[in-house]
Amino acid sequence: MKNQIIIFDTTLRDGEQSPGASLNIYEKLEIARQLEKLNVDIIETGFPISSPEQFEAVERIAGEVDLVIAALARAKEIDIETAYKAIRNADRRRIHTFVGTSDHHISGKFSDQRYGRSLAEKRETVIKMSRDAVQYAKTFCDDVEFSAEDAGRTEINYLCDVIEVAVEAGATTINIPDTTGYALPEELSAKIKAIREKVNNIDRAILSIHCHNDLGLAVANSLAAVEAGARQVECTINGIGERAGNASLEEIVMTLKVRKDFLDYQTNINTKEIYNTSHMVSGLTGMIVQPNKAIVGGNAFAHESGIHQDGMLKNRNTYEIMTPDEVGVPKTKMVLGRHSGRHGLKARLTELGYTVTEDDLKKLYALFIELADKKKEVYDDDLRVLMGDEIYIEESHVHLEQMQVHLGTNAIPTATVSLKVNDHMIHESATGDGPVDAIFNSIDRALNTKYKVESYQVRSVTEGRQAMGEALIRIRNEGKSFTGRGVSTDIIEASAKAYLHAINLLEIEKKAEQEKEVPELEEERQI
């Protein structure tokens, strides 16, 4: 349909590149299933060449989720082959290959003389790389997307030359990323119009837009591109992504819906799943949504002032341009407690969008009862936090069995931990500058390690005096960072869990690197 906008969700690829947002394979699967319910058209599931975990997550999603599954690849044969290997079990698959086309990118990334001596020669090399990459991707898959990275800052005539070559080579989607979030709406609109006018056979491909939010213009830029002729929009849930993030899916979709009078386009999105998807992504990534965030923020439908409340009571249209119901905000807050049974817990989690297996339920119910004992009333947000906690870490190398901290005004903080390490119990104590330092020191002593802590934060993630505290920690080992997350009604325990989570991620990666072998696929090439 002429006015149909294809929604390409990149929460699991560009979104996951947000600092501190790393998701494990189970969390990615859970989000991918929820994106299926939201009814996005395409999900970009990851960048398979970048790590064995990324490969495995893309492969699992490709086998289980019924959407077009895209995987990212640089304009290199090894990336393209690996991307294909990861998505080959999907019924509908797309290889998304990209190369930097702005002078900034060309002179930065391709500074080596083998790409050419002058900028003009390097530009020629990039044109050849684009053609070769698309042609190679086409040997595996009909559906090939080509992105001219940093198109937002690429000189228009050269951009048109690159795109023409990619279309000639068979790209079915041409994506225009504003990689640095630099462009203005009018500029992007003019760029899309120029591409449509100048590039031969541009009608053979769908034009796509991919905006970053460095100047807060990602959504406005995406909509301007749509009006100029783009028919695919790349976006993420809650607008998460590199630096200031990507264009937010919910803002684009709801703007198109609410302002249909002006923007006559439609998407396939089931808007009633927006609220659950946003909360799930926030719960699993640990990236809190600011209260005043459009569509999904805690205050998005709150009316505080007397004048507004009075107006709303008389006629909701006075201050409301869409209803909470349209985006799936629940009418009442459900509360569970220690007398709630397994069925009640499972039913509520299912309503919140989670897929709960019988095995998960056993583990979850025990955690839920532990929480209900401490908190008495367990709200939806508590359940989401629980789902984003240790529930998905199946292969834990080390687990916190018990901890104790001794504190006092004039006492030296001392912590004792009991850790289960691959079925062995280890008990250790240590002192520290404060209770958290003491806990980390006792864990280090028990495991005979000492990791550099790059960042550490604690915050409350649910409401009330017995709110759940969340600790986030980033540790570094051999040039790589690992972000751990822990939640508890006790912030010292949350900190210990977060530290152990990061250590477990590090161990899982070490193990995966030793074990992972990418399978052969010669016979599956199409030509």
Under the binding rule (CB under 5 A), the answer on residue 178 touching Zn ion is no
> For the purposes of burial, counting CB atoms within 10 Å of the CB of 450, is it exposed (0-12), middle (13-18) or buried (19 or more)?
exposed
> By the 8 A CB rule, do 404 and 385 touch?
no
Task: Indicate the residue among 173 and 488 with the shorter CB distance to ligand KIV.
Answer: 173
Binding mask 13-42 for ligand KIV (x = CB under 6 A): -x----------------------------
- Dihedral sign, Cα of residue 309, residue 315, residue 318, residue 323: positive
Q: Please, which of residues 436-455 interact with Zn ion by CB under 5 A?
A: none
- CA separation, residue 281 to residues 177, 183, 263, 353 (Å): 23, 28, 28, 11
> By the 8 A CB rule, do 191 and 208 touch?
no
CB of 12 to ligand KIV, least distance (A): 13
Indicate which single residue of 97, 147, 277, 504 sits in contact with ligand KIV (rule: CB under 6 A). Answer: 147
Indicate which single residue of 130, 179, 340, 483 sits in contact with ligand KIV (rule: CB under 6 A). Answer: 179
Six-digit token string for 151: 């198109």
Under the binding rule (CB under 5 A), the answer on residue 149 touching Zn ion is no
The whole-angstrom separation of Cα 171 and Cα 96 is 9
Task: Indicate the residue among 177 and 388 with the shorter CB distance to ligand KIV.
Answer: 177
The whole-angstrom separation of Cα 279 and Cα 170 is 39
CB neighbours (10 Å) of residue 251?
21
- CA 483: distance to chain centroid? 14
Binding mask 482-501 for ligand KIV (x = CB under 6 A): --------------------
> By the 8 A CB rule, do 130 and 162 touch?
yes
Binding mask 315-344 for ligand KIV (x = CB under 6 A): ------------------------------
Could you tell me which stretch among 87-95, 174-182, 345-353, 410-418 binds ligand KIV (CB under 6 A)? 174-182
- CA separation, residue 61 to residues 35, 91, 273, 397 (Å): 11, 11, 20, 24
H or E, element range at 142:
none
Task: Indicate the residue among 72 and 503 with the shorter CB distance to Zn ion.
Answer: 72
Q: Which does 149 bind (CB under 5 to 8 A by kind): ligand KIV, Zn ion, none?
A: ligand KIV
CB of 14 to Zn ion, least distance (A): 4
Phi first, then psi, for residue 52 (nearest 5°) are -60, -35
Angle value at C-alpha 345, between 340 and 349, nearest 5 degrees: 155
Indicate which single residue of 53, 143, 149, 507 sits in contact with ligand KIV (rule: CB under 6 A). Answer: 149
Task: Indicate the residue among 236 and 489 with the shorter CB distance to Zn ion.
Answer: 236
Under the binding rule (CB under 5 A), the answer on residue 14 touching Zn ion is yes
> By the 8 A CB rule, do 368 and 336 touch?
yes
Under the binding rule (CB under 6 A), the answer on residue 44 touching ligand KIV is no
Task: Indicate the residue among 181 and 353 with the shorter CB distance to ligand KIV.
Answer: 181
Binding mask 209-238 for ligand KIV (x = CB under 6 A): -x-x--------------------------
Task: Indicate the residue among 235 and 491 with the shorter CB distance to ligand KIV.
Answer: 235
Tokens 């005539």 belong to 157
> By the 8 A CB rule, do 185 and 168 touch?
no
Q: Please, which of residues 345-364 interact with ligand KIV by CB under 6 A?
A: none
Tell me which residues touch ligand KIV (CB under 6 A).
14, 98, 147, 149, 175, 177, 179, 210, 212
